[in-house]
Structure 1
Amino acid sequence: MSVPDLNLLVTLDVLLSEGSVARAARRLRLSPSAMSRALARLRETTGDPLLVRAGRGLVPTPRALALREQVSHLVQEAQAVLRPVATPDLGQLNRTFTLRTREGFVENFAIDLIARINEQAPGVRLRFVEKANRDSTALREGTVDLETAVVDKDTSPELRTQALFGDRLIGVVRAGHPLSQAAITAEGYAACRHIGVSMRFLDQGPIDRILEPLGLSRDIVTTVPGFSSALGLARSSDLVASVPARYTASLRMGMHSFALPFPVPEFTIAMLWHPRMDADPVHRWLRGCLREVCARKPMAI
C-alpha cells in the first residue's frame, strides 16, 4: 500500500478555501501549472474531481464540501504540532515533578524551592524520592524528572547536566566537643572516632585517601548512608561527622563545624535530566528555579 503525500493536505485546504487554481497558486507561491499538477494528483488520490468547471470558475463537488472542514482541521492541528511550544501559563499549571536527591537536600533546599515555585505556579507539586544509587534508569524511563549528583566518570554520558554549586567537606561535632575547644591538627582529627558516610557502605572515602599519604587513618566506628544520619549521631555523641558544607548548612544548626586541617578539593553538585526533557518549557522553568535557589545558599562553616 502506497503512503499518501501528506503535503497534499495543505494544497487541498488552500484550493478548497480559494476555489481557484490561480489564487491558490499565488497563496502557496507556486506557478499555476504546478498547482494544476497538484490538483491532478489530488483527484487521482481521492478518486474525485474535487473542483469542476462552472462557467468561468470552479465549484466544489459534494466530496470536496464534505472534506473541507475536516481537511482544514487536520492542517491546523499539524501546524500546531510543528509550531514551537508557546510560553506556558505557569499560573494554570497542574503538574507534579519527581526529584531524586541524597539525604539532606530536602532539609536544606526544599523549603526555598517550594516557596519559589509557589510564587509563579501554585498548581505545581514536588515529589522527593531518596537517591539510593547512581543508576540513571529512573531518568531514562521518566519516573524521575530531575536529579542532583556529583558529576564524575560514572555519570551516564546520555544525561544532560548543569552545575548548581561548588562544595567541600568539613568536620562537624557536637557543641562542647574537645575538637571545638582548640586548634585542630590532622593528627588530632584522625585520632578521633568517626562516622563514615557511604551509600554503598564503603570502608574508605576521599578523606581517607587524602590522609593515607600523611601516614594517618581514621577510626570509623560506624557507617551510615546519609548526611543527616551522620549529623544526628554526631549531635548526641563524641563521634566526628565529615559532610559537605553547603549541602548540610541547615542540618548543622547548633553544632560546631570546622575546616578540615588538610587540603580538601572542592567538588560540584549538579542537576541531571534526560535529553527528552531538554526542550520542555516547564521542565526548563523548574531547572531555573532549582538553580536560583541553590545559588542563594552561601558556602558556610
Structure 2
Amino acid sequence: MTYIDLNLLPALDALLDECSVTGAARRLGLSASAMSRTLARLRSMTGDPLLVRAGSGLVPTPRAMAMRDRVRDVARDARTLLGPQASEVDPATLARTFVVRANEGFIALLAAALVTAVAREAPCVRLRFVPRVVKDAVSLREGQVDLEIGVLGQSAPEVRTRSIFRDRFVGVARKGHPLLDNPVTPATYAACQHVVASRKTDFEGPIDRALAELGLGRTIVAVVPGFPDALRIARDSDVLAQVPRSLMRGRVPGAAALAEGLVAFELPVLVPEIVVSAMWHPRMDREPAHKWLRDIFVSVCRDALEG
C-alpha cells in the first residue's frame, strides 16, 4: 500500500479553507515556506494544482472545491480517531449494553440497586447479567463480558481487579430450629444436617476443614448451585445453610425476601472471610464508559453493604 502521510490532511483542510498559503501556515503554526512545500506535495499526490493564482490571491480548482467538505470531515475524523481519548463520559448521553458476569447470590442481592442507580444516571444504558459458570479470563479477553463480579479464582495474570466489599459466612436456620435453643457449639452444629451452595458441586469446603481439625464432621444432605437455593431449603426444613452475611441483612436491597423466616447465627468455627472483587481486561482500563461502570458498581455495593 502506498504510504500516506496523515499530516497532509490538516494542511489540505487549512489550505482549502483559507485559500492562502500564508493563512494556512498561520493556522497550523508553520512557516510560509513549509506550507508551500506541503502544497507542492499535495499537488503531486493528487495530480491537481488545487489552488491556482488569480490576481493577488489563490482560488480553488474544481476538484479542490468538490473535495473541500469531505476533506474537512476526514480531517476531523482523523483527529478524533488518533487524538487523546476524552477522560470523562456523559452518562446521560451514553447508549450502550454492558455484560456483567456474576453469581446468583450477587444478582439476587444487589441487581435491583445497581439497575436503579445505572438507570438514574444513564437512561440509555442496559445491563445484561450472565451467570458466572466458570472463572476464566477468556470472555473478558475476547470482549464477551465487560465486567466480572465475584471471589478471585484462577485467572489470567493480566486481568485487573478492584475490591468491592468484604463479607463472611454465617450459619442459617429456620425460625424455631432446635439448634437455636442453646448456644451453638462445634459439636451441636456438626450434628445437624446441612445444605451447601457450590458452583462446582463440591461437598466439602472451609467449614469442613475447620471441623476436621476438631475431630468433627458434618452430614451434608444436598449441594445446590447458589445461595438463594440453599436459603429456600433451610427455610422449609431443619437443614442448616451457610451463606454470606450480606444475604441476611435486611437493610440491603434484595436481602429481605431471601432472609424471611430465617435466623442467622455465628459459625462455631473460624473460616476465611470473603473478598468480592470486580474484574476486567486491561484494554478497558482507560475507557471512560467502562470506568464509569466500575465506579458506580463499587459505589452502590459499598453503600449497601458497609457497616
The normalised TM-score by structure 2 is: 0.88
For residue 221 of structure 2, give the secondary structure of its aligned residue in structure 1: strand
Q: Which residue of 1 aligns with 2:57?
A: 57
Q: Counterpart of 1:23 in structure 2: which amino acid?
A: G
Q: Which residue of 1 aligns with 2:277?
A: 270
CA RMSD between the two structures: 2.2
On the 8 A contact 1:167/1:299 being kept in 2, the answer is no
Q: Which residue of 2 aligns with 1:6?
A: 6
Deviation at 1:180, TM superposition (A): 1.3
Q: Distance in 1 between matches of 2:38 and 2:95?
A: 45
Q: Distance in 2 between matches of 1:64 and 1:108?
A: 62
The percentage of counterpart residues that share the same residue type is: 49
Deviation at 1:125, TM superposition (A): 2.8
Q: Which residue of 1 aligns with 2:228?
A: 228
Structure 1 residues 96, 22: closer, same or farther in 2, change over 3 A? Answer: closer
Deviation sequence 1:13-50 (CA, Å, 0-9, x none): 11122222222222222222222221121111111222
Q: Distance in 2 between matches of 1:232 and 1:24?
A: 74
For residue 176 of structure 1, give the secondary structure of its aligned residue in structure 2: coil
Q: Which residue of 2 aligns with 1:255?
A: 262
Q: Counterpart of 1:126 in structure 2: which amino acid?
A: L
The aligned length equals 299
Structure 1 residues 52, 111: closer, same or farther in 2, change over 3 A? Answer: same
Q: Distance in 2 between matches of 1:235 and 1:299?
A: 26
Q: Which residue of 2 aligns with 1:179?
A: 179
On the 8 A contact 1:233/1:239 being kept in 2, the answer is yes
Structure 1 residues 299, 282: closer, same or farther in 2, change over 3 A? Answer: closer
For residue 297 of structure 1, give the secondary structure of its aligned residue in structure 2: helix
Between 123-132 and 81-90, report the one with greater CA deviation: 81-90
Q: Distance in 2 between matches of 1:96 and 1:248?
A: 31
Are 2:298 and 1:297 equivalent residues in the alignment? no
Deviation sequence 1:186-241 (CA, Å, 0-9, x none): 22222222112211112321222222222222221211111111111111111111
Structure 1 residues 234, 299: closer, same or farther in 2, change over 3 A? Answer: farther
Q: Counterpart of 1:129 in structure 2: which amino acid?
A: V
Q: Which residue of 2 aligns with 1:138?
A: 139
Q: Counterpart of 2:108 in structure 1: which amino acid?
A: E
Residue pairs, 1:1-301, within 5 angstroms: 1-81=1-81, 82-85=83-86, 87-152=88-153, 154-247=154-247, 249=249, 250=255, 251-298=258-305
Deviation sequence 1:226-257 (CA, Å, 0-9, x none): 11111111111111111111145412233111
The normalised TM-score by structure 1 is: 0.90
Q: Distance in 1 between matches of 2:65 and 2:158?
A: 50
Q: Distance in 1 between matches of 2:155 and 2:211?
A: 26
Q: Distance in 2 between matches of 1:2 and 1:145?
A: 38
Between 54-63 and 262-271, report the one with greater CA deviation: 54-63
Between 68-77 and 274-283, report the one with greater CA deviation: 274-283
Deviation sequence 1:39-86 (CA, Å, 0-9, x none): 121111111222233333323222222222211111112223335337
Q: Counterpart of 1:99 in structure 2: which amino acid?
A: V
For residue 216 of structure 2, give the secondary structure of its aligned residue in structure 1: coil
Q: Distance in 2 between matches of 1:204 and 1:170?
A: 16
On the 8 A contact 1:164/1:271 being kept in 2, the answer is yes
Q: Counterpart of 2:149 in structure 1: which amino acid?
A: T
Deviation at 1:174, TM superposition (A): 0.9
Q: Which residue of 1 aligns with 2:252?
A: none
Between 109-118 and 159-168, report the one with greater CA deviation: 109-118
Deviation at 1:170, TM superposition (A): 1.0
Deviation at 1:107, TM superposition (A): 1.9
On the 8 A contact 1:245/1:299 being kept in 2, the answer is no
For residue 113 of structure 1, give the secondary structure of its aligned residue in structure 2: helix
Deviation at 1:164, TM superposition (A): 1.0
On the 8 A contact 2:165/2:305 being kept in 1, the answer is no
- Extract unaligned runs of 5+ from structure 2: 250-254
Deviation at 1:295, TM superposition (A): 0.9
Structure 1 residues 94, 11: closer, same or farther in 2, change over 3 A? Answer: closer
On the 8 A contact 1:97/1:145 being kept in 2, the answer is yes
For residue 305 of structure 2, give the secondary structure of its aligned residue in structure 1: coil
On the 8 A contact 1:146/1:272 being kept in 2, the answer is yes
For residue 196 of structure 1, give the secondary structure of its aligned residue in structure 2: strand
